[in-house]
Chains A and B, each alone.
Chain A
């Protein structure tokens, strides 16, 4: 170790997964001496230990609980939470794990479902068991959106709505003045059941870590995609074919169900639609309980009609995939990497009448990915299959596209951007775009590669309120965004404190005394009406004073005096520091004394005692 201790970087990031890769999201963040793990995903493309992040990297192989201050899970997808029980129960971590309430509810269901596929169907041993999932979930703390959760005295986290799936959240991780905003997966456009991602105004992270699944795509309009989807499903079932839509039980499935349900209703179709048994109903129950996390429309109408109670969509019956005639089947899991969807796919893939619609991203190496790539012969469980059915890939997956990612960066003005959860070439493209358009440095580390970010120096200082008022009064502009500020910052070497003092010397050296430099100009016109002038100037200085010989503003820093007995000439005198006010005051005076037919009132000059 050659690193010198005093050069510890402000923020250090190491992706253990999702570095130039989609799947197995797991990122280590070190900020202000605190270590945080965000997401703890599983890679669907591997069947061996490579599916888990390399936890032995963390803290040099010591106990995770000693090293990590907290773990945060952004949403319930397995590529973001799949390794959590492995990490907490098998590797061993007893600290807090944060996730939103819906994630906390749904995450264990998906973990259990996945465990079953691995252990019961694939016959794996050496995998976490049901008790591990339960014990792991006991360590989870639920979060509400926007709630500032103080992990300890210095470290705080805050969740924002991410829109990707029910309960998906972005997390702001803050220590002192520096913060990291980790997006997880997010969607900047609202859909049928979820709202768009939303970060509160004023969130200005030092570093934004954004997913970049669709870094190069600008998706065509949502409506066009939906029409396309409905047309293809409709055509296939009219010809008597079967449609399989591999989905994850929660998320996209609900949106597509709402879409098909209303289409079936509208077109009066009676072709059966099935949804994988078991999980489906429970999934919808979760959506019913967490209505407040869906979009405004669903929230508004849920008392009268719950969108997640379907008429046309039925739970799958045993053996229904072998029945003759058309049908639509939503089946899990979404990447055809095992379970029921793969089983049905094997049965249907040989018939050109049938169709498969892949509505989401498939991790490289899965059967789903091969199907999407248009492979005509695919080996499944050691047996070759000819793929003759129609294949449609439609990106319904709710990720932000290039436009959405750019929009988020524009909104929160980070000092640095980091891309994860995407493919390297696509990231490279967007990196160029961000660096060119926003001049923000972009990082895209590979797995295991560490990035150190030097945050800009930031300093807060306590200023006496009189000093602030003085500065504000020097700027004539109502927006008060450019108030001249002069002060001495004193660093006390004895108690190492910074303070601001007003620069009034205690004792004055006769040869070096403070000089008042003032400027003056003669303005002429009609005879001045002092009272009217004072009234017009009152909005600039409510404390102005009428004197025997004129008007005094800002404690004498600006004065207006008669320059001749007729009072048709005025002398405007201002101190150098009031130069900004000169134009405005001059205009106010000129407007008054050069006004035509100004009423010749004989107004006595009011005298201020």
Chain B
């Protein structure tokens, strides 16, 4: 059927059409985000790091990227892995004809988005260029960005994952990205910074319904155990970083302690970055839970991976070609990426294990529907089992957290303010003051809270402080000091510093013709008076200067082309006017 399009790279598989070629990516258009207006990107975890070059390279982005040190290290590994997978794919489609509506629109499985907007993956060069813009942080390391105080706080989701607090002089905003108050392997989520903030921007809620990640973990281990006992092999297509570390240990325990599973069942970990991932895990104890961390004080590694490698029970390969193909034996447990089964070694391993129904692929990624993952392999006898492992907090936990932290407002995507499942009113974000944000909507936070006066915190230089002379107000119980100094806003660091030159203070008094004439004549200046109804005008020939002032005596103009003459007359005016001291000229109504 696919032949009707007469496009050679279109393939048909089980009444589904596929394009053979380089995978393409659909991401939010960088143009829409106006990247050249963005100063800072905050990255909350290594999962959210992978797409970065799409937004930072050749988009006009000229700012800085902040991320915790370990999320950076792992995020970089994920980029390298994906680039390696892309590089391995040699086929290229010669044209983009398939993207035409009249072609792809007629597929039995038409794409969800317009494929014209799909983009090829970024290059290694893009990655390196992007990485140069990254600044790494520790948890609780507050940085000052244009007078905003920005802090990454332990979110408990993955190694190095953070939520962010952003403090202005007047308000505090928390961006609550993927978080988990029930973490076991990584540092425990810190709650205190969320208490009584003005706004929480909530996102990344678990997709698990009526169960927990813990239950899923137990389920997963039991399933692996069952498949192995039945002499089948298990393929776990998953991310080479994070939960996999704990899972390798758990699988090794299962093999060691379950009757009916051969003790020498091998565990394979195949990824171009497997070696680096394991090595990184062994040196990042300070980012882990206390129990993991305590190992280094012995000194031992936080995970037993290297012991498993030394004893030959865990074997690591950078791809399934070469050494692995010779050493590979079943039954076994294989960890390999990519979780989508569209690129990477895992996809090939499905083919290798596919013919035996005793074998199983276990899909654990909560964001990937198992039917989609399985789709190209539907005809193979291998079992596909879905055990989503979602470590993000669920709606119930979110509701309790918000009730406890009492932010003034909660903002979230309108997606989260509608029940996830029909008639399950509990499966949404619930809070008294909830503000749903629609797609492409801009919300001005200040308008939300109707914050009246904006104040800016300015530090006052000690010399300015000591020069302040407070005068008691004649009627009210206040003292007033008039300050005339420089404001330095250099580098957005606002400071009041002593002035280097005289600063023109506001003058008070009343200008009358007789006063002006007296002053001028006492200085032997010859004055010619030119009067009209609106204003008084005086011409001083010797200084080529004209003075005009209005009939209220509160506005005057000194016109002269020579600077020194202007100054001379200005000085005369100053001599009979009073400089502002904060009290002069004020009259109380009382």
A: residues with CB less than 8 A from B are 101, 104-105, 108, 137, 142, 144-149, 202, 282, 285-286, 288-292, 302-303, 456-465, 468, 471-472, 479-494, 503, 505-522, 571, 573, 576-577, 579
- Closest chain-A Cβ to B203's Cβ sits at a distance in Å of 25
Instruction: Identify 16 new A-B residue pairs, CB closer than 8 A, beyond the known A303-B276, A490-B479, A571-B559.
Output: A105-B299, A137-B297, A142-B293, A286-B296, A289-B282, A289-B301, A292-B283, A461-B496, A482-B488, A484-B484, A492-B477, A509-B587, A513-B554, A515-B554, A518-B556, A520-B558
Contact partners of B586 in chain A: CB under 8 A: 505-507
Closest chain A residue, CB of each to CB of B73: A292
Q: How far apart sit A516 and B549, CA to CA, in the bound complex (Å)?
A: 10
Does A515 lie within 8 Å of B577, measured CB to CB? yes
Contact B296 A101 (CB under 8 A): yes
B251-294 contact mask (Cβ, 8 Å, vs A): 1 or 0: 00000000000000000000000011001101111100000010
- Cα distance, A108 to B284, chains bound together (Å): 20
Q: Write out the residue numbers on chain A whose beta carbons fall within 8 Å of the beta carbon of B282.
A: 288-289
Instruction: List the B residue with the shortest CB-CB distance to A287.
Output: B299
Across the interface, do A468 and B509 meet the contact criterion of CB distance under 8 Å?
no
With most chain A CB atoms within 10 A of its CB, the pick from B458, B479, B480, B511 is B458
Interface on B for A, CB 8 Å cutoff? 69, 137-142, 144, 151, 169, 275-276, 279-280, 282-286, 293, 296-297, 299, 301, 453-460, 462, 465-466, 468, 470, 477-490, 494, 496, 499-500, 503-511, 552-561, 566, 570, 573, 577-578, 580, 582, 584-589
In the complex the two chains form, is A482's CB within 8 Å of B500's CB?
A: yes
CA distance A145 to B140 in the complex (A): 10
* A456–B462 touching, CB < 8 Å: yes
List chain B residues, Cβ under 8 A from A482. Answer: 486, 488, 499-500
B483–A489 touching, CB < 8 Å? yes
Task: Find chain B residues with CB under 8 A from A571 CB.
Answer: 559
B570 to A517, Cβ gap below 8 A? yes
Which residue of the partner chain A has the closest CB to B562?
A521
Instruction: For A146, list chain B residues within 8 Å (CB).
Output: 137-138, 141
Residues from chain A with Cβ under 8 Å of B284 in the complex: 292
Q: Report which of A461, A510, A514, A522 forms a contact with B561, defined as CB distance below 8 A.
A: A522
A290-B283, A489-B468 given; A512·B508 CB < 8 A:
yes
A459 near B286 with CB under 8 A, answer no
Shortest CB-to-CB span from B456 to chain A, Å, is 5
> What's the Cα separation between A289 and B280 when bound, in Å?
10
Q: Which of B280, B504, B557, B580 contacts A579 (CB 8 A)?
A: B504
B589 to A507, Cβ gap below 8 A?
Answer: yes
Selected contact of B587 from candidates A457, A508, A516, A522, CB within 8 Å: A508
- Contact of A302 (CB < 8 Å), options: B138, B283, B552, B585: B283
Q: Complex formed: what's the CA distance from A503 to B482 in Å?
A: 9
Q: Which of B138, B459, B588 has most chain A Cβ within 10 Å? A: B138
Asked if B557 and A511 sit within 8 Å, CB to CB, the answer is no
Residue of B nearest to A289 (CB): B296
Q: Is the CB of B504 within 8 A of A576?
A: yes
Partner of B299, one of A282, A456, A513, A521: A282
Q: Return the contact of B456 from the options A463, A484, A509 (Cβ within 8 A).
A: A463
Q: Does the CB pair B585–A505 fall under 8 Å?
A: yes
How far is the CB of A68 from the nearest CB of chain B, in Å? 23
Report whether A522 and B559 are in contact in the complex, using a CB–CB cutoff of 8 Å: yes
A479 and B285 within 8 A (CB)? no
Contacts of B556 in A (CB 8 A): 515-518
Q: Residue on A with the closest CB to B499?
A: A484
Q: How far is the CB of A59 from chain B (nearest CB, A)?
A: 30
* Contact status B283-A460, CB under 8 Å: no
Chain A residues with CB below 8 A from B462, complex form: 456-458
A-B contact pairs, 23 of them (CB 8 A): A101-B286, A145-B138, A148-B141, A457-B465, A458-B462, A461-B458, A464-B454, A480-B490, A481-B488, A486-B482, A488-B582, A493-B479, A505-B586, A507-B587, A511-B510, A512-B585, A514-B580, A517-B558, A518-B556, A518-B557, A520-B557, A520-B560, A522-B559
Determine if B560 and A515 form an interchain contact, defined as CB atoms under 8 angstroms apart.
Answer: no
Complex CA gap A463/B454 in Å reads 8
Asked whether, in the complex, the Cβ of B481 is within 8 Å of the Cβ of A491, the reply is yes
- On whether the beta carbons of B477 and A464 are closer than 8 Å, the reply is no
How near does chain B come to A414, taking the closest CB pair, in angstroms?
14
A516 touches B555 (CB 8 A): yes
B506–A514 CB distance below 8 A: yes
**Are A144 and B296 closer than 8 Å at their CB atoms?**
no
**Complex Cα spacing A142 to B288, Å:** 12
What is the CA–CA distance of A285 and B301 in the complex, to the nearest angstrom?
9
**Closest-CB distance, A185 to chain B (whole angstroms):** 22
Note all chain A residues with C-beta closer than 8 A to B465: 457-459
Kindly list chain B residues whose C-beta atoms are within 8 Å of the C-beta of A302.
279, 283
Residue contact B283 to A288, C-beta cutoff 8 Å: yes
Q: B283 — which chain A residues lie within 8 A by C-beta?
A: 288-292, 302
Contact B488 A480 (CB under 8 A): yes
> A472-B487, A480-B488, A506-B589 given as contacts; is B507 within 8 A of A485 (CB)?
no
With contact pairs A202-B144, A289-B285 given, residues A485 and B485 touching in the complex (Cβ less than 8 Å): yes
> A514 with B488: in contact, given A303-B275, A573-B557 (CB under 8 Å)?
no
A579–B276 alpha-carbon span in the complex (Å): 64
Contact A491 B479 (CB under 8 A): yes
Q: How near does chain B come to A587, taking the closest CB pair, in angstroms?
A: 14
Specify the chain A residue showing the minimal Cβ separation from B142: A148
Instruction: Return the 10 tightest CB-CB contacts between A and B, nearest first.
Output: A462-B455, A488-B582, A520-B559, A456-B462, A485-B487, A465-B454, A146-B141, A459-B460, A481-B490, A483-B487
In the bound assembly, the distance between CA atoms of A520 and B552 in angstroms comes to 20
Query: Nearest CB to that of A521 among chain B residues?
Result: B561
Task: Tell me the complex Cα distance, A511–B511, Å.
Answer: 9
What is the bound-complex CA distance between A202 and B141, given in angstroms? 13
Rounded to whole angstroms, the CA-CA distance of A471 and B503 in the bound complex is: 12
Which residues of chain A come closer than 8 Å to B582, judged between CB atoms?
Answer: 488, 490, 503
A487 to B482 alpha-carbon distance, docked (Å): 6
CB-based nearest B residue for A472: B489
- A463–B285 CA distance with the chains assembled, in angstroms: 45
Q: Which of A463, A471, A507 contacts B455 (CB 8 A)?
A: A463
CA distance A487 to B284 in the complex (A): 53
A490 to B477, CA, bound (A): 10
In-complex Cβ contact of A512 among B297, B557, B578 (8 A): B578
A461 to B495, CA, bound (A): 10
Distance between B297 CB and nearest chain A CB, rounded to angstroms = 5
- Highest count of chain B CB atoms <10 Å: which of A506, A511, A515, A577: A515
The reply to whether A491 and B275 contact each other, CB–CB distance below 8 Å, is no
Known contacts: A105-B299, A461-B458, A480-B490. The answer to whether A489 contacts B561 by CB under 8 A is no
A286–B296 alpha-carbon span in the complex (Å): 8
CA distance A290 to B584 in the complex (A): 67
- Return chain A residues, CB-CB under 8 Å to B589: 506-507
Q: Which residues of B contact A491 (CB under 8 A)?
A: 470, 478-481
- Chain B residues lying within 8 Å of A288, measured Cβ to Cβ, are 282-283
Checking B455, B466, B585 against A464 with a beta-carbon cut-off of 8 angstroms, the contacting residue is B455
**A-side contacts of B557, CB under 8 Å:** 518-520, 573
Q: What are the residues of chain B within 8 A of A292 when measuring CB–CB? A: 69, 283-284, 286
Contacts of A285 in B (CB 8 A): 299
Q: With the chains together, A146 CA to B139 CA distance in Å?
A: 8
A468 to B580, CA, bound (A): 19
Whether the Cβ atoms of B139 and A144 lie closer than 8 Å is yes
Shortest CB-to-CB span from B478 to chain A, Å, is: 5
Bound CA span A488–B481, Å: 6
CB neighbours (8 Å) of A457 from chain B are 462, 465-466
Task: Give Cα A583 to B555, complex, Å.
Answer: 23
A522 to B589, CA, bound (A): 44
Nearest A residue to B573 via CB reads A517
Which of A108, A459, A515 contacts B509, CB < 8 Å?
A: A515
A142: shortest Cβ distance to chain B, in Å? Answer: 7
Determine how close the nearest CB of chain A comes to the CB of B310; give it in whole angstroms: 14
Q: Which of B462, B477, B487, B559 has the most CB of A within 10 A?
A: B487
Bound-state CA distance A240–B296 (Å) is: 41
Bound Cα distance from A559 to B345, whole angstroms: 73
